[in-house]
Every structure is written in structure tokens, then in C-alpha cells.
Amino acid sequence: MTEHTHFESSATAVPFGEFRIARTEQGEAIVVEVAGDVDTTTAPALVQAADEALAEQPPVLVVDLSRVEFLASPGLTALLTIHRNAGTGTAVRIVASGRATLRPIQLTGLEESLSLFPTREAALAGS
């Protein structure tokens, strides 16, 4: 398995209010990992990062929200936009297990529209 990592920031901890996106390639999948708050100001950056990954037409795009501390309604809209932009050639898999991410998705009924996974490993495996 080949793994390439591209980080916008090298910090391992995300201070309160900081937003970061990291992209890795794992096998044929592209993983977009998000840390911090996904809200009105940061959701467009998430969509842009996903669109850049989707332009490469990977078979799988994993959006890893495991380090997201707050997921506002613009973030939910971003997830739907990413899913819509993927088309039929790319499976979009969302990692959401924490209260900050899974709960808003469930409250809005979006778990019916999104492919959710508890871990990155499960998302990569598709199980």
C-alpha cells in the first residue's frame, strides 16, 4: 500500500478554532482529513479540497471527520455537495463517529444519503 501525505500545517494538535485539511493517498483511495470546526467560513475549503481530489477520479474518496470538533449546517451541506460532485465513478465515504459529527448527521436524517463509517480503516475497506 502506497501512502503519500500532503499537509497544510504540520501541527499535530488542533488549537481551539483552528481548521486544517490534510490529504493522503492510500492505495487507490484519496483521504481528505479535516480537523477543527466545519462552519460557514471553513465549509467552502472542504468542498474545494474534495473537488481537487475528485478531479483525479479516484475510485474512493474518504472524508475523515474524526478530528472535527463542530459540524455546523454549512458543513452538512458541504458533505452533500461532495457526494453530488463525485458522480458515479467515485464512492464517497464519510468517517463520522463522534458526537460532534455523527449526531448532526443523524438529527438531520442525512445518514440515509451519506455512506458513513466509524473509522478510516472501515471506510477504506468499505465495511
CA distance 3 to 88: 25
Q: Tens of pLDDT along 81-97?
A: 999 999 899 999 999 99
Handedness of CA 24, 20, 74, 106 (dihedral sign): positive
Q: What is the pLDDT of residue 100?
A: 95
pLDDT at 74 (0 to 100): 97
Q: How far apart are CA 86 and CA 120, in angstroms?
A: 19
pTM for the model: 0.86
Instruction: Give the start-to-end residue ranges of the domains of the chain.
Output: 22-116
22-116 architecture in CATH?
A: 2-Layer Sandwich (3.30)
Residues with Cβ within 8 Å of residue 17, at least 6 apart in sequence: 36, 37
Rounded Cα distance, 119 and 54, in Å: 21
Closest by CA to 37, choosing from 100, 86, 91, 104, is 100
